[in-house]
Chain A
Amino acid sequence: MADELDAVAVRAMLLQVCTRMIENTDRLTEADQAVGDGDHGIGMRRGFTAARDKLEALEPASVAEVFKTVGTAVMAQTGGASGAVFGTLYRAGATACGDHALDAATFLAFLEQGLAAVQKRGGAVPGAKTMIDALAPAAEAARAAQADGLAAMIRAAADAAQQGVQASRDMIATTGKARTLGERSLGHPDPGAISMQIQLAAMQDYVAGQRED
Chain B
Amino acid sequence: MQRVKKILNDTADVVAETVEGLVLASDGTTRLMDGHRVIVRQPSAREAGRKGKVGLLVGGGSGHEPLFSGLVGQGLADAAVCGNVFAAPSPDAIAAATQDIDDGAGVLYVYGNYAGDVMNFDMGAELAGDEDITVRNVRVRDDVAAAPKERIDDRRGIAGDLFVVKIAGSACESCDTLDEAWRITAKAEANTRSIGVAVSAGSIPETGKPTFELGDDEIEIGMGAHGEPGVSRQKIGPADAVVDQMMAALLPDLPFERGCEVALLINNLGASTMMELLIANRRIRHCLDQAGVGVHRTEIGHFLTTQEMAGYSITLLKLDDELKHHLDAPARSVAYSRG
Q: A79-B84, A122-B119, A184-B229 are in contact. Are A177 and B61 (CB under 8 A)?
A: no
Contact of A46 among B84, B204, B211, B227 (CB under 8 A): B84
Q: Once bound together, how far apart are the Cα atoms of A76 and B212, in whole Å?
A: 27
Q: Verify A175–B89 contact, CB threshold 8 A.
A: no
CB of A194 to closest CB in B, whole Å: 17
Q: Verify A177–B224 contact, CB threshold 8 A.
A: yes
Decide if the interface of chain B is mainly helix, strand, loop or mixed: loop
Q: Which of B92, B116, B147, B209 has the most CB of A within 10 A?
A: B116
Contact of A39 among B122, B146, B204 (CB under 8 A): B204
CB of B204 to closest CB in A, whole Å: 6
Contact of A38 among B84, B207, B224, B230 (CB under 8 A): B207
Q: Verify B123–A79 contact, CB threshold 8 A.
A: no
Hey, which chain A residues are within 8 Å of B114, CB to CB? 81, 177
- Whether a CB of chain A sits under 8 angstroms from the CB of B272 is no
Q: Verify B224–A42 contact, CB threshold 8 A.
A: no
Q: Verify B116–A79 contact, CB threshold 8 A.
A: yes
CB of B234 to closest CB in A, whole Å: 15
Q: Once bound together, how far apart are the Cα atoms of A20 and B211, in whole Å?
A: 24
Q: Once bound together, how far apart are the Cα atoms of A42 and B15, in whole Å?
A: 14
Q: Once bound together, how far apart are the Cα atoms of A95 and B91, in whole Å?
A: 19
- Whether a CB of chain A sits under 8 angstroms from the CB of B277 is no
* Residues of B80-136 contacting chain A, CB below 8 A: 83-93, 114-116, 119-120, 122-123
Q: Verify A177–B226 contact, CB threshold 8 A.
A: yes
Q: Once bound together, how far apart are the Cα atoms of A78 and B83, in whole Å?
A: 9
CB of B16 to closest CB in A, whole Å: 13
- Whether a CB of chain B sits under 8 angstroms from the CB of A75 is yes
Q: Once bound together, how far apart are the Cα atoms of A177 and B211, in whole Å?
A: 13
Q: A79-B88, A80-B61 are in contact. Are A42 and B206 (CB under 8 A)?
A: yes
Residues of chain A at interface, number, CB under 8 A: 32
Q: Verify A84–B88 contact, CB threshold 8 A.
A: yes
Q: Which of A79, A176, A177 has the most CB of B within 10 A?
A: A79
Q: Once bound together, how far apart are the Cα atoms of A36 and B211, in whole Å?
A: 8
- Whether a CB of chain B sits under 8 angstroms from the CB of A16 is no
CB of A190 to closest CB in B, whole Å: 13
Hey, which chain B residues are within 8 Å of A93, CB to CB? none
Hey, which chain B residues are within 8 Å of A174, CB to CB? 154
- Whether a CB of chain A sits under 8 angstroms from the CB of B228 is yes
- Whether a CB of chain B sits under 8 angstroms from the CB of A29 is yes
Hey, which chain B residues are within 8 Å of A77, CB to CB? 90
Hey, which chain A residues are within 8 Å of B146, CB to CB? 180
Q: A37-B86, A37-B227 are in contact. Are A79 and B207 (CB under 8 A)?
A: no
Q: Once bound together, how far apart are the Cα atoms of A43 and B230, in whole Å?
A: 24
Q: Verify A79–B228 contact, CB threshold 8 A.
A: no
Hey, which chain A residues are within 8 Å of B209, CB to CB? 29, 33, 38
Q: Once bound together, how far apart are the Cα atoms of A147 and B83, in whole Å?
A: 44
In the complex, besides A36-B228, A177-B224, A180-B224, 14 extra interface pairs with C-beta distance below 8 angstroms are A37-B226, A39-B85, A39-B207, A39-B226, A42-B204, A46-B84, A75-B90, A81-B119, A84-B88, A84-B120, A84-B123, A177-B115, A180-B145, A180-B147
Could you list which residues of chain A lie within 8 angstroms of chain B, going by C-beta atoms? 29, 33, 36-39, 41-43, 46, 75-85, 121-122, 174-181, 184
Could you list which residues of chain B lie within 8 angstroms of chain A, going by C-beta atoms? 61, 83-93, 114-116, 119-120, 122-123, 145-147, 154, 156, 204, 206-207, 209, 211-212, 224, 226-230
Interface CB pairs A-B, < 8 A, 28 = A36-B226, A37-B86, A38-B211, A39-B85, A39-B204, A42-B84, A43-B84, A46-B84, A75-B91, A76-B92, A79-B87, A79-B89, A80-B61, A80-B84, A81-B119, A83-B87, A83-B116, A84-B91, A84-B119, A121-B119, A121-B123, A122-B115, A174-B154, A176-B116, A177-B115, A177-B228, A178-B228, A180-B230
Q: Which 3 A-B pairs have the closest CB atoms?
A: A80-B87, A81-B116, A79-B87
